[in-house]
Amino acid sequence: MQVLYLLIETIVKCVVVFACLMLSVAYLTWLERKVLGHIQIRFGPNRCGPFGLLQPFSDGIKAFFKEDLVPGRSDKAVFVLSPMIAIISAIALFAVIPFGDQFTLPGTNWVIKLRIADIDVGLLYIFGIASLGEFGIILGGWSSGNKYGLTGSLRAAAQMISYEVALGLSIIGVIILSGSLRLTEIISLQAGGFWNWNIWYQPVAFVLYIICGLAEINRTPFDMPESESELACGFNIEYSSMKFALFFMAEYAHMITMGALAITLFWGGWQAPLPQLDFIPGVVWFCGKLFLFCFFFIWQRGTFPRLRYDQIMKFGWKILFPLTLLNLVITTLAVLLKG
């Protein structure tokens, strides 16, 4: 009986999280266009429904009815497979993110924990799956049989290798502080108000994490695999219809996960910034913080120009990598000296 309950609970949670994630991905595209529009003193989408709120659905319908082309010279199996890899890994990332505390179902003693899986190696899982997502991009560009796609995927590979190192090293400080890879434990160690959040203990790591995260999700200052200006959309140049939409959704889902992970590691997860505000459910705090992060990701896209490819490589290896190492050494020393 216990197993059956667990199964039902897990399936319901999976469905709810999946639906919410897809809905937020849809509205993130809307938010992005809207915010970028307002940054450029124009309106953004405002014709489709009130405030353009139905725009994501009309985009989806459009993508669905477009012609689905597979280039003749492409490696067909891999070409079809790579958007799937991208979207599956982007969605699977959300499985370990804790988006709230637990609550008891009214009228029963059924305790529901607001996370799909709470595994010991949560962080390791996230970094493993996140790197898997890059394979979607690399294989997609490589299999389309297009020189722009190939260049884009080569850049994706190089960028992934150089920034994943710094990304991994930047969060090791947090792991040292909390002594665990389990995300719920990292959150519970930051309990009791915003002054306990890891961002005050690891400010450099937080900034480095955000920068590397932007590079990891191929967002604008680092959007080398998909350089619109010189590679004509890079790895997804040959993709059309729903295959392109899947890449697109994967990118945005990845962005949400990057934000959620930043919240979990540095901003106290779903916990309220002040202990007095604890009566507001954790999910609300989680969504609010996530909105702030997503807004920042869009805001910085509307602000910063793109870096050149060699600048990105230089920045990754000569600045970010040493800084993360330095941060790691200092954190280790501080923890050792404190005993």
Partner 1 sequence: MILPLLKGLKITLGRFLSRPITIQYPEQKVPPAKRWRGIQYFEKDEKGKTKCVACGLCMAVCPSQCISIVTAEDEEGKRYPLTYELDILRCIFCGYCEEACPVNAIFVGKNYEWVEEQRAPFLMNTEKLLAEKKFNP
Binding region for partner 1 (CB under 8 A): 35, 37-43, 299-300, 302-304
β-sheet bridge partners, residue 103 = 112
What is the rounded CA–CA span in Å between residue 146 and residue 338? 56
- Enclosing H/E stretch for 91: helix 76-92
Q: Which residue has the tokens 């997609």?
A: 140
Question: What is the nearest approach in angstroms of partner 1 to the Cβ of residue 37?
Answer: 7
Question: What is the nearest approach in angstroms of partner 1 to the Cβ of residue 311?
Answer: 13
Residues near 87 by beta carbon (within 8 Å), at least 6 away in sequence: 136, 246, 247, 249, 250, 253
| Count of helices and strands (H, E) across the chain | 13, 2
Question: What is the nearest approach in angstroms of partner 1 to the Cβ of residue 160?
Answer: 24
Question: What is the nearest approach in angstroms of partner 1 to the Cβ of residue 42?
Answer: 5
- The backbone torsions φ and ψ at residue 293, rounded to the nearest 5 degrees and listed phi first, read -65, -45
CB 162 within 8 Å of CB 186: no
Question: What is the nearest approach in angstroms of partner 1 to the Cβ of residue 296?
Answer: 9
CB 78 within 8 Å of CB 150: no
The smaller minimum CB distance to partner 1, of residues 44 and 225, is found at 44
The smaller minimum CB distance to partner 1, of residues 38 and 73, is found at 38
The smaller minimum CB distance to partner 1, of residues 137 and 211, is found at 211
The smaller minimum CB distance to partner 1, of residues 72 and 305, is found at 305
Give, in order, the Cα–Cα distances in Å from 124 to each of 46, 59, 198: 42, 35, 19
The smaller minimum CB distance to partner 1, of residues 145 and 302, is found at 302
In the three-class reduction of DSSP (H, G, I as helix; E, B as strand; rest coil), residue 102 is classed as strand
The smaller minimum CB distance to partner 1, of residues 5 and 299, is found at 299
Question: What is the nearest approach in angstroms of partner 1 to the Cβ of residue 135?
Answer: 32
